[in-house]
Structure 1
Amino acid sequence: MTEHPLFQRRQAETTGPVDVRRVGPGTSMASDNAFALALLNLWERVSEAGGAVGFTVPVDRSAVGAAVSVVIDDLRSGRAFAFAATRGRDIVGFAMVRPGKQTTAHTGRISQVMVDPGVQRSGAGTRLVQAVIRLAGELGLERIRLGVRDGTGLDGFYRRLGFVEAGRLPAWIRVAPDDDRDEVLMVLEIPRRTEPDRT
């Protein structure tokens, strides 16, 4: 029996257009086992390249797999919504939003924003985050937040998309034994959609 292409651990395709697609129930990309393994491969590639996505080098593939399981469960249950950037058969980017609950139901949190090292600076990350922001507005969210590791330059990327720094958690992220970084908390106010004038 031939192994499904998405199950193989390999480098992502390096040529061809990048498409941004919604992931989850009722969309064109199911959050199935093949998708989970493709996301695992992406997350591992980004982590191995030093990406600020929750893991340090050397990357423990089983720990990344456990994180992927949580993401897939949240997508399948409707607790979270996501977009993937695809190139050919490969997942080369991912971003997710989790709406708040109860007293924070008007807010959401963006997480797991990652782009394959071979696709960075192509605009894929911008397109992914913009898609998540649009979806957050469609879900009725009024503001969204995210956290970035200080010293990566990612705060500048998010500022260009309209986010502002709301605070910091000092020495919150430990990259190495003697390398603690602040987590920079960033917030975006989502403009209210106005109903068209029917008069």
Structure 2
Amino acid sequence: MSLTFELDPAVDRTLHDGLVALWTDVSNAGGSVGFVPPVTADDVRPEVVKHLSAMAEGRCRLLVGYDEEGAVAATAFLTLNTHRLMRHWLWLYTVMVAPGHQGKGYGRDLMAAAAGAARGIDGIEAIRLTCRGGTGVDRFYASCGYKEVGRVPDAIRVAPGDDRDDIIMLLPLHQY
């Protein structure tokens, strides 16, 4: 079974709660999405509100993957650049697949859906993302066509004595 993707879904309590639950579960499973486990829904909720506010202001767009039961199973936020010299590319943030759905190809489906969504936005020529070194997720993004274009050593402090590289990756969207 595959996910059903929706770009810019209507935000209601069910979606809000689904985002909070997904972000909490992914964080507690060790996903590098801005937190270090353990986290609670109360820890995550302000970040969800911040992302949804940016969406309401038109600064970002939300891509949600729903599983066969209609639950939020995957997400990515496509954040538009406001600087006039950088409006031709966007950021991809908070890329998540529910831990119970990992290993089913949903991450690859999510990345393809995000690229498709970005191609549908006028003037967007590339997607840029960052990821935490030491997790192996950079290999996954590379397998989806992203290229490492930069690295900031020890930029992410996960814990005292545990600093990770901030890896910058880019996916050009033009077709040859």
Compute the TM-score of the two structures, normalised by the length of structure 2.
0.92
Residue in 1 aligned with 2:95?
113
Residue in 2 aligned with 1:134?
116
Unaligned runs of 5+ in 1: 1-16, 194-199
Residue in 1 aligned with 2:148?
165
Q: Which runs of 4+ in 1 moved over 3 A?
A: none
Secondary structure at 2:145's aligned position in 1? coil
Q: Residues 151 and 166 of structure 2 are in contact (CA less than 8 Å); yes or no, is this contact kept in structure 1?
A: yes
**Over alpha carbons, which structure has the higher Rg?**
1
Q: Residues 82 and 132 of structure 1 are in contact (CA less than 8 Å); yes or no, is this contact kept in structure 2?
A: no
- Give me the whole-angstrom Cα distance separating, in 2, the residues matched to 1:125 and 1:31: 23
Identical-residue share of aligned pairs (%):
35
Compute the TM-score of the two structures, normalised by the length of structure 1.
0.82
Unaligned runs of 5+ in 2: none
Q: Residues 31 and 76 of structure 1 are in contact (CA less than 8 Å); yes or no, is this contact kept in structure 2?
A: no
Count of matched residue pairs: 173
Residue in 1 aligned with 2:6?
22
Residue in 2 aligned with 1:197?
none
- Give me the whole-angstrom Cα distance separating, in 1, the residues matched to 2:41 and 2:117: 30
RMSD of aligned alpha carbons: 1.5
1:9-55: CA deviation from partner (whole Å, max 9, x where unpaired): xxxxxxxx34232242xxxx312222111100000001111111110
- Matched residue type, 1:188: L
- Find 1:79's aligned residue among 59, 74, 77: 59
- Find 1:187's aligned residue among 154, 170, 174: 170
Q: Residues 107 and 141 of structure 1 are in contact (CA less than 8 Å); yes or no, is this contact kept in structure 2?
A: yes
- Give me the whole-angstrom Cα distance separating, in 2, the residues matched to 1:153 and 1:114: 15
After superposition, the Cα gap between the structure-2 partners of 1:167 and 1:188, relative to the gap in structure 1 and judged at 3 Å, is same
- Give me the whole-angstrom Cα distance separating, in 2, the residues matched to 1:178 and 1:33: 39
Residue in 2 aligned with 1:100?
81
